[in-house]
Amino acid sequence: MTTQKEKGKLSIIGIGPGDPELMTVKAVRALELADVIITPMARKGGNSTALPIASGMVDLSSKKVQQLHFPMQKVRLGEPHKDEEVQAAWQHAAETILSYLDQGLKVAFPTLGDPALYSTGFYVRHTLKSIRPEATVVIIPGITAMASCSATAGLPIGLGDDLVTIVPAAFDDDRLRQILLTADSIVLMKVHRVMARIISLLEELNLMDKAILFERCGQEGEQIYTDIREAETPHYFSTILIRKQEL
């Protein structure tokens, strides 16, 4: 008697901002059950940031681990993506994952923070589903970097009737000025390359004393700047919280 081969499954897992103890129970369980770990790395020949975090809670020594290069480039939704290298990376990742799913294996794709917020994971999911719509993909949410920043500083992101806005500051967009003028609480992400522009805007709008910069929050080497001008060359993993109203 033959049995039907078990279908493979991809789990895209948010593993939090960096501290392994901030991984959820569900994330840990999914990593424990996985046969294969696919981890993104920003530079060719580099190392995955997610892998050592996951390893802090789960023994991965018996699992197949494969690191894939994902170029860290801007992506504008609604426009044809012109960076062929980025598209090729998503395609390669999807095809690699499908090769394991076709063997009936459970694949885990750990990603920093939460997959729903500016994560490589959803690009991979979209590409994989465009190739194989019936593929089984689950999303496991994680603690965001901004939540970790808030907890570390004892600074709420949103209270009462606060209007909260999350902004990818790396995009040179005139909307940033309007957001800074109208929102009560602002989270600026991807700030490491545009600090001069952010500082100029905050000085112009008299918001410098409301801004706190968190560098590698929840990770080794964490730094907090209450005067963001002191962070001349912040790390890639840097976030600014701006809260206008006092409690």
Reported as a pLDDT band with limits 50, 70 and 90, residue 201 is very high
Task: Return the higher-pLDDT residue of 247 and 144.
Answer: 144
Write down all domains in the chain, each with its CATH number in brackets: 9-140 (3.40.1010.10), 145-243 (3.30.950.10)
Q: Are 198 and 188 in contact (CB under 8 A)?
A: yes
Integer Cα distance of 219 and 152 in angstroms: 12
Integer Cα distance of 156 and 159 in angstroms: 7
- Element spanning 234, H or E: none
Give the torsion through C-alpha atoms of 125, 92, 74, 218, to 10 deg. 70
Neighbours of 194 (CB within 10 A): 16
* Per-residue model confidence (pLDDT) at position 5: 52
Integer Cα distance of 170 and 190 in angstroms: 5
Lowest mean pLDDT among 47-51, 61-65, 82-86, 146-150: 82-86
Q: What pLDDT digit, counting tens, does each position of 78-111 carry?
A: 554 556 778 888 899 999 999 999 999 999 999 9
* Per-residue model confidence (pLDDT) at position 78: 52
Residues 6 or more apart whose Cβ sits within 8 Å of residue 22: 16, 143, 148, 218
pTM of the model: 0.88
Reported as a pLDDT band with limits 50, 70 and 90, residue 130 is very high
